[in-house]
């Protein structure tokens, strides 16, 4: 006896695959960049970097913190 159209099974696609976990160097680089950026900004504020306080050191610290945040978005 043939199956009726309402009882036929419908195609269900397989569930999407989960991305693999991050390599070990991703969180290491993330925390290193965040820590170095903070350290550069603090040392610039205190005036312990060579050349005294400079906006270049502030921008370097902010760039390192930004790179750390970019790595944080890639961490799984």
Q: Are 3 and 44 in contact (CB under 8 A)?
A: no
Cα 49 from Cα 59, distance rounded (Å): 14
- The per-residue pLDDT for 76 is 87
| Mean pLDDT, range 10-28, rounded to an integer | 92
Q: Is the pLDDT of residue 6 over 80?
A: no
pLDDT at 7: 61
Mean pLDDT of the chain: 90
Structure tokens at 69: 């945040």
Do the Cβ atoms of 61 and 44 come closer than 8 Å?
Answer: yes
Determine the pLDDT at residue 61: 97
pLDDT at 4 over 80: no
Confidence (pLDDT) at 5:
59
Which pair of tokens denotes residue 59?
Answer: 């921008």
């Amino acid at each position: 006896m043939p199956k009726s159209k309402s009882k036929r099974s419908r195609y269900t696609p397989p569930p999407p695959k989960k991305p693999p976990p991050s390599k070990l160097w991703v969180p290491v680089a993330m925390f290193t960049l965040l820590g170095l950026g903070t350290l550069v900004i603090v040392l610039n504020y205190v005036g312990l970097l060579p050349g005294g306080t400079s906006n270049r050191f502030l921008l370097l610290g902010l760039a390192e913190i930004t790179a750390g945040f970019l790595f944080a978005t890639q961490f799984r």
